[in-house]
Amino acid sequence: MAAQAGVARATVSRVLNNGPNVRQEVRDRVQAAVRELDYKVNVQARHLASGNSRQIALIHATNTESEPNSYYHSGLELGAMRGCAERGYSLVTHTANPEGEGERERILELARSGNHDGLILTPPFADDLNLIKAISRTDCPIVCVSAGPQAQQLAPWVGIDDAAAGEAIGDFLVRLGHRRFAYIDGPADHVSAGLRLQGFLAALAKVGIKREAVAHYRGNFTFRSGVDIGQQILCKPDRPSALVCANDDMAAGALLAAHKLALRIPEDISITGFDDTPVSEIVWPPLTTVHQPIRLLGTRAVERLIDAIENSSEAPGDSTSCVPFRVVDRMSTARQPETQVS
């Protein structure tokens, strides 16, 4: 190649990598030689020479013994794959059980190995402050998805304003006249789910409803937990007028529990979800929910991570960290006619 163009090998390298300090006439000669010789860049060799794998690892928090979340993981992965394709990187996914022994050390070893240029952490690993600090000491860039306030101070992150989203669904139900609520929460170590609950309770407090008046149940984001807990709630003689769920899978399970009890939805009980995953549109009735742009989160996480990899100057948070959400009003909620709405 260098001989064909009549230039030094270093000059060829600068042209192929679009480097500076090359005259246009020389650049044209090298490009002509590329076409004449039908030269193809050996990407693997280039990566070995640069010390970069151009490979990103997405860490899914998954208990392989339980049912998976129906869409959250795949939505993040689709978005991350799109982001990688646009920037010339590849994506590798790893699953880790948050309750498993040695799983955090295994994630830390992925960071130390040098096989990946960076890691994307999802909850609850995205809020594990000790893990984030340990990975930071390896000089492996990370980005945290849906991280809470403390983790946001330690690493770049992407997510929605979960507290504001929880408040938005609370405001929506209050405007419909609901005053009797039950809430199916996510796992205790899921900080973003806890923020949704805080925001929801803040909305209720504005109309004088205290936290103690809301029946709180702990789910695990699975359809099965929505069925089981939904049945407990709906069998009570003083059942709420609105059942709020921290994700769509649990809301879909609660819908099934209501159908089994021959309850009319939304006439007898309003049910809401969170995420606006595909399941929210295919259940009956379709779920009122909060749209969280999951694929966009995956894409944005990759973009922030690659910026950190290539620029080595990514700050923990900026205006691009937070993405918008919205309440999606469907058929699983209705106005309470007996309540005067202020």
Nearest to 230 by CA among 184, 276, 270: 184
Per run of 10 residues, the mean pLDDT along the chain (length 342 residues) is 64 61 76 71 45 84 71 94 95 91 93 94 96 94 96 95 98 97 95 96 97 95 96 95 97 98 97 97 97 97 93 62 96 81 43
C-alpha dihedral sign at 109, 110, 116, 120: negative
Homologous superfamily of 55-160+294-311: Response regulator (3.40.50.2300)
Give me the pLDDT at residue 311, please. Answer: 82
pTM of the complete model: 0.81
Please report, for residues 28, 35, 216, the alpha-carbon distance to residue 193 in angstroms, rounded to integers and kept in the order given. Answer: 57, 55, 13
Whether the domain at 55-160+294-311 and the domain at 162-291 fall into the same CATH topology: yes
CB atoms within 10 A of CB 177: 17
Give me the pLDDT at residue 321, please. Answer: 87
Backbone φ, ψ for residue 182 (5° rounding): -125, 150
Give me the pLDDT at residue 131, please. Answer: 96
Give me the pLDDT at residue 158, please. Answer: 97
Q: Tell me, which fold does domain 162-291 have in CATH? A: Rossmann fold (3.40.50)
- What residues are paired with 291 via a beta bridge? 275, 326
Give me the pLDDT at residue 28, please. Answer: 78
Q: Using CA atoms, how far apart are residues 98 and 279, in angstroms rounded to an integer?
A: 25
Please report, for residues 48, 54, 203, 264, the alpha-carbon distance to residue 51 in angstroms, rounded to integers and kept in the order given. Answer: 5, 9, 51, 61
Q: Using CA atoms, how far apart are residues 33 and 208, in angstroms rounded to an integer?
A: 77
Nearest to 31 by CA among 7, 15, 54: 15
Give me the pLDDT at residue 46, please. Answer: 44
The domain locations on the chain are: 2-41, 55-160+294-311, 162-291
